[in-house]
Amino acid sequence: MTASDPITELMDDHRLIEKVLAALDNRLATSAPGEFPGDFVEQALDFLVNFADGSHHYKEEEALFPALAERGVPVEGGPIGMMLYEHTIGRKCLAGIREHLPSARSGDEEAQARLRNYATEYTGLLRNHIWKEDNILFKMAAQALDTAAREKMAGEFNNESNPRVTSQLRARYVAFANSL
Ligand SMILES: [Fe+2]
Ligand SMILES: [Fe+2]
């Protein structure tokens, strides 16, 4: 069985995440305060928590970054430290969206404004983060990781007994992103 290249898979994840970021920005920008898109924000939040963070960032943190560290790329500071820091900031934004979603859905305009601020911070952060990974870190990884390292990562990405990376989970969120 030939597994797909793990760096390609991470870049494919980025394209899916970008679709949801664009839809989230668009839906929040085009809805009036009285018609807050609560169902959509809940679906987008589910995607961002369980796929973008729970699966994609997980693959980066548990497979890619350690593989790079084994080849001498420092984890503290440098590009990996920056990526880890940005994942943490992103989690805080998602927690903020989750916190304000119930009140925002029931029409609380203050909660809607706070949620919009968290969402705007998140989408800006993630777009910039993805750009840095695609254009800097993943290019570094493409040079640093040999066939053995890539095969090890592919094995970790295709471990059907790990609930964060199952093909079922990925298929579900690919379908959501592609439905937008
Ligand atoms: Fe990342
Ligand atoms: Fe990423």
Residue with the two structure tokens 């797909």: 4
pLDDT tens figures, 80-107: 999 999 999 999 999 999 999 999 999 9
pLDDT tens figures, 109-139: 999 999 999 999 999 999 999 999 999 999 9
In the reported structure, the alpha carbon of residue 160 is separated from the centroid of ligand 1 by a whole-number distance in angstroms of: 22
In the reported structure, the alpha carbon of residue 34 is separated from the centroid of ligand 1 by a whole-number distance in angstroms of: 35
In the reported structure, the alpha carbon of residue 59 is separated from the centroid of ligand 1 by a whole-number distance in angstroms of: 9
In the reported structure, the alpha carbon of residue 10 is separated from the centroid of ligand 2 by a whole-number distance in angstroms of: 6
Question: How many alpha carbons fall within 13 Å on the CB side of residue 70?
Answer: 14
Mean pLDDT of all residues in the chain? 94
What pLDDT is stored for residue 33 in this prediction? Answer: 62
Any residues with CB less than 8 A from the CB of 47 and at least 6 apart, and which?
20, 173, 176, 177
Domains within the chain, CATH numbers bracketed: 6-27+38-178 (1.20.120.520)
In the reported structure, the alpha carbon of residue 77 is separated from the centroid of ligand 1 by a whole-number distance in angstroms of: 15
pLDDT of residue 2 exceeding 80, the answer is no
**Which residues lie near ion ligand 1 (Cβ < 5 Å)?**
60, 83
pLDDT of residue 3 exceeding 60, the answer is no
